[in-house]
């Protein structure tokens, strides 16, 4: 991963929402945004088939702009790359997100990449997911983000359209990256 070149302290980073000096926020544009967990249907055999929460559309604490976010829990296969379903990327873009954040809570490490870098990522054969190298992501100071209480289930065909919305708090607490 590339090192983030912003020398500000984490407190200074939090105070301005992670923006560089001189960048204006767009809080008015995102005033009605509510964080949601994003789920996609994963076909499989037996008990392994079903809806899987793969990311959140949330806000970093103190920031108005929505971001696509994943907590990395050392999932199998994520040593070099991370993947995000195309349906999730499409939904996040439509909601106004411009950044994808990957957070490792155990190491208190965080990295990010522009959402457009995910959109240009390698499309996996048959899985409808875009792959991005972890080394191509920029390291940034660890930040907290808002909790999502609602789950949006995106269409099983990768069309980026919500198939159903659940208000299930227990389901929203689970965050898994499927590879």
101-119 pLDDT, tens digit per residue, is 999 988 899 999 999 999 9
**CB 135, CB 1: distance < 8 Å:** yes
The CB density around residue 125, as the number of other CB atoms within 10 Å, is 7
Tell me how far apart the alpha carbons of residues 167 and 152 are, in angstroms, rounded to a whole number. 9
Query: What confidence tier does 36 reach under pLDDT thresholds 50, 70, 90?
Result: very high
pTM for the model stands at 0.69
Check whether 75 has a pLDDT greater than 80. no
Question: What string of H, E and C letters represents the secondary structure of 108-149?
Answer: CEEEEEEHHHHHCCEECCCCCEEEEEHHHCEEECCCCECCCC
Domain locations along the chain: 30-173
Look at 71-75, 100-104, 173-177 and tell me which has the smallest mean pLDDT. 173-177
The single-letter DSSP state of residue 46 is G
Question: Coil, strand or helix: which one is 36?
Answer: strand
Tell me how far apart the alpha carbons of residues 162 and 153 are, in angstroms, rounded to a whole number. 5
Check whether 169 has a pLDDT greater than 60. no
């Amino acid at each position: 991963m590339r090192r983030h070149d912003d020398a500000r302290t984490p407190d200074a980073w939090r105070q301005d929402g992670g923006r560089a000096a001189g960048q204006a926020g767009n809080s008015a544009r995102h005033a009605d945004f509510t964080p949601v967990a994003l789920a996609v249907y994963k076909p499989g055999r037996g008990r392994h088939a079903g809806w899987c929460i793969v990311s959140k559309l949330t806000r970093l604490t103190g920031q108005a702009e929505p971001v696509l976010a994943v907590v990395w829990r050392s999932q199998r296969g994520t040593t070099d790359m991370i993947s995000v379903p195309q349906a999730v990327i499409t939904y996040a873009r439509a909601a106004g997100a411009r950044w994808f954040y990957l957070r490792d809570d155990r190491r208190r490490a965080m990295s990010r990449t522009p959402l457009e870098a995910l959109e240009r990522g390698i499309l996996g054969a048959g899985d409808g997911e875009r792959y991005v190298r972890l080394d191509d992501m920029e390291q940034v100071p660890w930040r907290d983000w808002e909790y999502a209480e609602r789950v949006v289930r995106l269409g099983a065909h990768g069309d980026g359209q919500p198939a159903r919305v659940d208000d299930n708090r227990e389901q929203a607490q689970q965050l898994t990256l499927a590879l």
